[in-house]
Structure 1
Amino acid sequence: MSGEAEEVAHDTVEAAVRAQLAKAFGGVRGIIEAAVPTVAFTISWITTEELKLSLIISITLSVLLLVARIAQRSTPQFVINSLIGIAIGAFFASRTGDAKDYFLPGILWNAGYAVAMLLSIVTRWPVVGFLIGSVTGDPTGWRKDPGIVKLCSRLTWLLLVPCVVRVAVQLPVWLFGGGDKAVAALGVAKIAMGWPLQVAALGAMLWVLGRGRTPLKPPVAPA
């Protein structure tokens, strides 16, 4: 029943993708929840140079944000994603003893995500297409329409660009920077190039989506 309701609500590809994109972004609260632990880690390290203390503060704040979500019975998805990333970063930094390694998993994640999206475009399986599949109930039916594939490829490019920019800026700092300046630069870069870039990409995607009305064809029911 829920699938049928979605098909009725979204009669174009653009409307379906807009609805799914809205779910994929955490809104203002999601932006804050993603930034707070990184801000806390960066400030703590710069002021104390105590790696263990900085990691404890960052992880504790993430756990508190998760508890607040659960207590309010709101979706914890975005906090959990952030907590996992922070935990992995904490593991890297604690193993090497270098505070800048806290930011390495994020750099690697963006690089891997960019490569995966590029491959999806080249092979004509753009990742945004699966947002349409989640609405129609047919994960791959959208590939039968060249116009939809072309639209989804454009939208996937817009998701790919922020990942490339983050790696291009942060990787050289991680490779060649050292001490407090590198940690501060990476902290500022991660925050400034995190949700702001993502929101910019979302805005560009919505602009592209607002220019067309591609009919959304539901899957043909079996006889």
Structure 2
Amino acid sequence: MTADSTPDATAVTTPAERQTAQTVEQLIRHRLSTALGGWRGSFETALPTVAFIALWSWRQDLRLAVWSAVGVAVVLAVVRVVQRSSLQHVLGAVFATAIAAFFAMRSGRAEDAFLPGMLLSGGYLVGTIVSILVRWPVVGFLVGAGDPRAADDPFGWRRDSGMIRVCSRLSWVLVALYAIRLSIQVPLYLAAQVEALGVAKIVLGWPLWIAGVAVMGWLLMRGSTPQELDPRLVAEPEDPRGPAQSSS
């Protein structure tokens, strides 16, 4: 490795971040605030579920409840298009609503509308644990998304061993969130408690996520891990004078 390609301690931060972030925790707080969405995304994610539960509780008509949820998701997408704003969160809501509608309509059971979300949570639970064990913690990807240079260096965060350790601890918080979600939703699903499942889906969605972010923030406030690189990735730079002159 030459001097031009050798990573240094500034490779994972921008000049502005180096002025404000002296520890890994400070840098993660800064980047997570950049990567996470706001209240509107939360509203757009929850509203189709609210429509489904409201129509199901009122009419006990699965088809009407499903199509009302799909209609709400489509309206939200149209509003975004008219306003020329980001479709990121609302497209996620449209896709999730369509999959839930397919499951429910195919089986004819209203509770099956919540099955895809539970399967997804189970997949996330396993995937997050694996990511921690192989030292590619999923929170690191959120941190990387908040890096202004993410397009050019999406995995730059992995060059800091302290960053990997802190992101692993934060990823265990996500494991706990998915475990809590499944421990409540699965018994309700097995008991066919549709209204309770709807309430649980909303409460265990963004409100639980916000609680998890608060726990992560508490961990970040308590920590003071210095920014450093994995010594295995750092090589001695070549002396520009050449080996003969450097030894003389």
Q: Same fold (TM over 0.5)?
A: yes
Shift of 1:209: 2.0
Alignment of 1:71-220 (within 5 A): 71-134=82-145, 135=147, 137=150, 138-175=153-190, 177-178=191-192, 182-214=193-225, 216=227
Deviation per CA, 1:129-170: give whole Å up to 9, x if none. 234445265444544543222111111111221111111110
Q: Name the Cα RMSD after superposition.
A: 2.6
Shift of 1:28: 1.4
Q: Hey, what's the Cα distance between the residues in 2 that align with 1:123 and 1:30?
A: 31
Q: For residue 9 of structure 1, what is the aligned residue in structure 2?
A: 16
Q: Percent identity?
A: 45
Compared CA separation, residues 131 and 9, structure 1 to 2 (3 A): farther
What are the ranges of 5 or more consecutive residues in structure 2 without an aligned counterpart? 1-10, 239-248
Q: Hey, what's the Cα distance between the residues in 2 that align with 1:51 and 1:37?
A: 14
Matched, 1:58 2:69: yes
What are the ranges of 5 or more consecutive residues in structure 1 without an aligned counterpart? none
Shift of 1:72: 1.5
Compared CA separation, residues 28 and 132, structure 1 to 2 (3 A): closer
Shift of 1:186: 0.3
Check the 8 A contact 1:10/1:216 in 2, yes or no: no
TM-score (norm 1): 0.85
Q: Hey, what's the Cα distance between the residues in 1 that align with 2:34 and 2:74?
A: 23
Give the partner amino acid of 1:7.
T
Q: Which has the higher helix share?
A: 1
